Amino acid sequence: MGKKRAKLSDQVRRAASDCGATQKALARAAGIDKGALSRFVSGERGLMLENLDALADVLKLRIVADGPPDVLPAGRPGRPPKTPRKAGGK
């Protein structure tokens, strides 16, 4: 069994805490409410996706996949292709 990955929100929290900027400066730069940022960083609440995106932009974060998703069934990499419909038929 592989090493458990840190949740994305936890990684953003850590980056926000470790960046050296104040929460007030981060919130202002990201255009989000300082109280919402404070509750997010402390782990009390989540952030709306658009606020998380804005914060990630300010922190210069990017998502990098380090392997295939764990939700795909073995031997089936995706959905089968759609079958074309016959012309003029239902």
* pLDDT given for residue 39 in this prediction: 95
Q: Could you tell me if residue 81 is inside a domain?
A: no
Q: What is the pLDDT of residues 31-90, one digit of tens each?
A: 999 999 999 999 999 999 999 999 999 999 988 877 777 776 665 566 666 677 776 655
Domain total of the chain: 1
Range of the domain at 23: 8-58
* Predicted confidence (pLDDT) at residue 21 exceeds the cutoff of 70: yes
Helix residue spans in the chain (DSSP H): 8-18, 23-30, 34-41, 49-58
* pLDDT given for residue 77 in this prediction: 60
* pLDDT given for residue 47 in this prediction: 93
* pLDDT given for residue 28 in this prediction: 97
The CA–CA distances, whole Å, from 52 to 18, 20, 22 equal 16, 18, 17
Q: Could you tell me if residue 74 is inside a domain?
A: no
